[in-house]
Structure 1
Amino acid sequence: MANKKKVIVTGFEPFGEHAVNSSWVAVQELEQLGLGEAVDLHVCEVPVEYQAVQSLLPSLWKEHQPQLVVHVGVSGLATTVTLEQCGHNKGYKRLDNCSFCPVSQCCMEDGPDCVKSVLDMDVICKRVNDSNIGVTVSVSKDAGRYLCDYTYYTSLFLGQGRSAFVHVPPLGKPYSSQSLGRGLQAVVQEMLTLLEEEHSEKDDKHNEHCNHKH
């Protein structure tokens, strides 16, 4: 299949109290499940380091030219699979795994304060919850001003909004790794469906425009 969709999904390495990072565990489960024949899924583990993110993300976007990049992170506060709508530029004061934080405390010196995903997370949330896969999904507009938010903002900027961020709870609180993998699979499949729908709507509008008779 020449026109396989390329999707990159990332998780994070352990940090702080998260000796096992459920985001990377969930992404590995997703890799086992796959996203169907039409999707070429590439996964990678992201270091919890601002500078590593700065060098890794441009190469991921450039090298793979993905249709969609989904970053997954753990949140000790999350009890659901949480879809983040936007990434923020400022407020990065918390030290990373190398005891570093950006001097400017922002992702991009002159970047916009907030970049939104082209995906409507409310729509995806509703569709996944309606499908009753046994994992509850919710939506958030604050990814927490640490490496999750930092990565998301950078990725949204690089991919013109064709990125998504999913926060997952720690393992067993309440979901198993298998459940998280299934939840991620459902979420990413809905994201791809939505992108496709938006794409065909654009085509329809374009065709209407071209076909009108004078």
Structure 2
Amino acid sequence: MGSLAPAGGFGNKEGINVLVTGFGPFGENTTNPSYQIARSLPNKQNIPGLPPITLHIHPKPITVSYTHVREVIPELLFPKDGLKPKYDIVLNIGLAPGRNFYTLETLAHRDGYNRKDEDGKTMEGDTFWRIELQAPEKLHTSFDVEDVWRRWKSGLMNVDLRPSNNAGHYLCDFTYYACMLEYWRREPSGQRLCMFLHVPSGLEEEDINRGREAALGLITALVASEMAGEGNKRGDDVVEETEWDRAADDECN
């Protein structure tokens, strides 16, 4: 990827800090490849034309629990009672067992979490986000997803990469929403430089290596897009519903 004029939000930054998370086991998935991929990532990325990128891999997998996510995400992203986020970009990686491709998730949902988590609980009847916080039904990433997807795809021509607008109404979707909510709570019209990557099943070395390549390529695309100043196109403006979106509630579990 060639040199880019620093016209975007990262134009004056000497380095970019990216938080990366993955999930723990759930159901029949006793080892979750999302965390195996996250923990395989290097601490640094040096890409010509971009500031140095430091990857902060969360040292523990996110527990597949609604309660755990609500407890851990706020303190993970922001200092206590702070307005400035700890990281420039947040990338969550999750497992979509029913898919054999990688998806860039453009939005997350507030409601519809009726499936039991690893604690045996659902979010049925919970009103905190909807009534107490009066949060929107959907939250969209602030990244220009069309531009990010194009850059991501151009760097990984032999990997099946797809944009998506349905992360599945389970812990992946819930966590993505919880992350973006923390930004929305502080500034509803502000930036939410969060992204969610869904990866397919597979724990062989080649699967983890391919997932690692996809994650690193996505991080590069996210930073390059912001550096180029192509932002402000929300996901709902550019991504239409697809067949894999309609199947997400069954596949992203």
Cα deviation, 1:140-172, whole Å, max 9, x if unaligned, reads: 100000000000011112134210011000016
Q: Report the TM-score when normalising by structure 2.
A: 0.72
1:204 corresponding residue in structure 2: none
Cα deviation, 1:107-148, whole Å, max 9, x if unaligned, reads: 712210100001122322222222235322101100000000
SS in 2 for 1:7: strand
Asked if 1:41 is matched to 2:55, the reply is yes
Give the counterpart of 1:141 among 165, 175, 190.
Answer: 165
Cα deviation, 1:43-63, whole Å, max 9, x if unaligned, reads: 122110111111111111114
Q: Which of the pair is proportionally richer in strand? A: 1
Q: Determine if contact 2:33/2:203 at 8 Å carries over to the other structure.
A: no
Give the counterpart of 1:60 among 52, 65, 76.
Answer: 76
SS in 1 for 2:45: coil
Q: Determine if contact 1:68/1:162 at 8 Å carries over to the other structure.
A: yes
- Structure 1 window deviating more from structure 2 (75-84 vs 121-130): it is 121-130
- Distance in 1, Cα, partners of 2:73 & 2:157: 31
Write the letter of the residue equivalent to 1:141: N
Offset, 1:71: 0.5
Q: Report the TM-score when normalising by structure 1.
A: 0.84
2:31 corresponding residue in structure 1: 20
**What RMSD over aligned residues (CA atoms) do the two structures have, in Å?**
2.5
Asked if 1:128 is matched to 2:152, the reply is yes
Q: Which of the pair is proportionally richer in helix? A: 1
Write the letter of the residue equivalent to 1:83: L
Question: Relative to structure 1, is the Cα distance of residues 127 and 200 closer, same or farther in structure 2, using a 3 angstrom cutoff?
Answer: closer
- Distance in 2, Cα, partners of 1:168 & 1:124: 17
Unaligned runs of 5+ in 2: 1-12, 80-84, 184-190, 233-253
Asked if 1:93 is matched to 2:93, the reply is no
Write the letter of the residue equivalent to 2:208: S
Q: Determine if contact 2:44/2:52 at 8 Å carries over to the other structure.
A: no
Question: Relative to structure 1, is the Cα distance of residues 62 and 132 closer, same or farther in structure 2, using a 3 angstrom cutoff?
Answer: closer
1:59-208 equivalent positions in 2, closer than 5 A: 59-63=75-79, 65-104=86-125, 108-109=129-130, 110-132=134-156, 134-159=158-183, 160-171=191-202, 176-198=207-229
What is the count of residue pairs matched by the alignment? 199
